[in-house]
Amino acid sequence: MGKRLNRTRPTERHRVDRSYVDHSGAELDIVHQTRWVALAILLSVCATACVAVLFIVDIPVTWHVWAAYLLVIPAVGLLLLSMLFVAKGQGRMTRLPFWMGFGFIVGGIAFDVWATLLQSPDLALEGNMVISALLYTDHDPDFIYVYGLGLQSILCCIMILLWAGFLRHRHAWFADVMNDAPLTYAEFLKATTGGGKLSWRQYIVPGGMSDFLCGYHVLLWTLPPMLVYAAAFRWYAGLDWFEIVPGPYSILGVRMMIGMAAVIFTVFFVWLYREFNTRTTNAHETVQ
């Protein structure tokens, strides 16, 4: 017979400590109550993207016009859902991050619109495919101005509301993440996207409906980098009108866009790592 293995009972020191789970009932209730709102927002974004794809497809220009009209429907729906998303949040919205985001978003959109109207008052040089479709079909310039400014205003409000919603929901989001007791940063990242209760196999290759990620977590995870990138792109587009930066659709411009996205996501992952360390440390100190 082989040598008998020593299977002594692990000591308390070697046991995995999962006692720091955050059972904040109120915050977890917020996650449960807001899931359908978050899912509806994600579906509205997908619907808007599907309509926008029509502008890059080789179809009759009249279809582009109808797509421009239809674009208003998911945009207004997304605006209403964003309002509801903010209202569902119960967390304290810190003023400094909110106003910084507000200024960055509004400033980027306003700068891009101002540069467009300054450099091309008749919108003949406007690269926006929606506006181009309306111009090509001889729509009244006043209508195009009202349509364009109205859609930009809706977009601006949506982005501000989603940023405010993120700030109000972030504590509930992290409370639910810590409720899954992640032991490593990788597990923490998996939990932030709603996969905390899934194995890595289920997370990478879902085997059923129960393996899909939670829409609430997916929305909260995507909001910071996407909003920052969208606002930064508007600043970039405004600078492009003055030929300060390469065109966003040139080879160099695409490289700069990719580089900007890489920087934004790097900062985002660093911020998540800081949150993981801070919340894990605080939870252990609370237990002790």
Q: What is the pLDDT of residues 75-123, one digit of tens each?
A: 999 999 999 999 998 888 889 999 999 999 999 999 999 999 999 898 8
Task: Report whether pLDDT(219) > 60.
Answer: yes
Confidence class of residue 17 from pLDDT cuts 50, 70 and 90? very low
Tally of domains within the chain: 1
pLDDT band at 25 (very low <50, low <70, confident <90, very high): low
Task: Quote the distance between the C-alpha of residue 29 and its chain's center.
Answer: 22
In which domain, by residue range, is 234 found? 25-281
- Is 276 within the bounds of a domain? yes
Q: What is the pLDDT of residues 56-67, one digit of tens each?
A: 888 888 888 888
How far CA 25 is from CA of 21, 22, 30, 176, 283, in Å, comes to 12, 9, 9, 10, 16
Residue 256 lies in a domain: yes
Task: Answer left, alpha or beta for residue 169, where phi above 0 means left and psi between -120 and 50 means alpha.
Answer: alpha
In-domain check, residue 31 = yes
Residue 272 pLDDT exceeds 80: yes
In a domain, residue 94? The reply is yes
Name the pTM for this structure.
0.86
Answer yes or no: is 53 within a domain: yes
